[in-house]
Structure 1
Amino acid sequence: MTENAYGLWSLVLINSALFIFFAFSFFKPRSRRDWRTLGMFSAFVVALFTEMYGFPLTIYLLSGWLAQTFPGVDFLAHDSGHLLEVMFGWRSNPHFGPFHLISTLFIGGGFWLLAAAWRVLYAAQASGQLATSGPYARLRHPQYVGFVLIMVGFLFQWPTLITLVMFPILLVVYVRLARREEGDSAAAFGDAWTRYARATPAFIPRWRTGHGRASPST
């Protein structure tokens, strides 16, 4: 029923805690920088689930435009909060809509990348070596990329004005944190880091061309 679609603060707490715990268990923060990374992701998650189950701020702010553009849609019904599905005409169960399925792929891929990167990083740190295998063979910062993939997935699933504003800010912060980590790695590993950084892109993997050469990337 519409009157029960929001104000479900217990679901806000449960879902926020669940996804933050998943991120914690896959990321396993150790340094102050790691905790800062997880903290910013946690703020994004709390903002998301607050609107998903608590108070639909975005829908209230856009209520006039939404009602005029999509007449007949009850935007206080929970399923209508999947705004991309509504805007692009998906009228069946939104959990099986194209944007929700894309969201699942991004979120699942992000958590997989966090877990895969942590195993390599943990082994490298334990042996005092530079992490260069697994996801680190394709990217210098796979864990930051993992967090970004998860956030992109949530934006596909349930876009809100607050998370849309937070997303580019978090991107900038993550890039700055990554640059600081690179400075630490350069100081610790010297020429080995320089060779690795020259051969491995920071955030976007290189794709092989038809001639077997990697295409340019960041």
Structure 2
Amino acid sequence: MNHETIQAYGLWGLVVLNSAVFILFALSFFKPQSKRDWRSFSAFSAFLVALFAEMYGFPLTIYLLSGWLQSRFPGIDWLSHDAGHLLEMLFGWQGNPHFGPFHLASFAFIGLGFWLIAAGWRELYRAQREGRLATEGLYRHVRHPQYVGFISIMFGFLLQWPTLLTLVMFPVLTWMYLHLAISEERESEARFGNDWRRYASATPRFIPSLRGKFGEEDGKS
């Protein structure tokens, strides 16, 4: 292991720092209240810790794939930090990977995710205070904007720094958010009855509808 490799990894202080910054940043947007909220947020936090542990601590994915990577791409120092941007490397990006197409796309998905979480929480908080169903703002277009936000952030990080562990965690966490969403919907239906059923029939669960059909139909009735 050369000096450059030592500088690229083993930086556990950065693992702790980056994990804490992103977890606290997400916490300030999401503001979990129920046990279900904390469960979903804890799973998201585990994804971030796993990600940064490989990004700055120990490059497990690179080590496990080192034989295949070195044989297919012999001109790349796979233990350098830049090589951790696997998609840029595998697709032959020649410039700085931080300005590569996958890295730039990752920023878009991560930024979108944090915006969805923040904007979704504001409407949900207002609805809870007023004792009504959340149907305004982002909730006109999708029933679970905050879960969509978490999935968007995780997908963005996968584009930026894919690892075997986070690739396994991503579909598991996505399934978990789907399960949590269905549980929340059952509770909402029990509480709001026909109002919920009308809303759910016009508004998709995860894939947003830009038309906002629920609001349009309400205006016509």
Q: TM-score band, normalised by the shorter chain?
A: over 0.9
Structure 2: state its 5+ residue gaps: 212-221
Which of 72, 90, 94 is residue 93 of structure 2 equivalent to? 90
Which of 147, 153, 175 is residue 144 of structure 1 equivalent to? 147
Q: CA deviation at 1:3?
A: 2.2
So what's the TM-score if we normalise by structure 2?
A: 0.93
Q: CA deviation at 1:105?
A: 0.1
Alignment-mate amino acid for residue 158 of structure 1 = W
- Quick check: 2:141–2:210 contact (8 Å CA) kept in 1? no
Which of 104, 115, 120 is residue 117 of structure 1 equivalent to? 120
Distance 2:121 2:26 in 1: 11
* Percent sequence identity over aligned pairs: 67
Partner of 2:73: 70
So what's the TM-score if we normalise by structure 1?
A: 0.94
- Where do 1:1-218 residues align within 5 Å? 1-206=4-209
Work out the number of aligned pairs and report it: 209
Q: CA deviation at 1:4?
A: 1.1
Q: 1:171 to 1:59 in 2, by over 3 A?
A: same
Alignment-mate amino acid for residue 147 of structure 1 = F
Distance 1:72 1:95 in 2: 19
Structure 1: state its 5+ residue gaps: 209-218
- Quick check: 2:15–2:56 contact (8 Å CA) kept in 1? yes
CA RMSD of aligned residues (A): 1.1
Distance 1:91 1:79 in 2: 11
Classify the secondary structure of the residue corresponding to 2:111.
helix
Distance 2:111 2:210 in 1: 22
Distance 1:182 1:81 in 2: 40
- Quick check: 2:117–2:149 contact (8 Å CA) kept in 1? yes
Q: CA deviation at 1:80?
A: 0.6
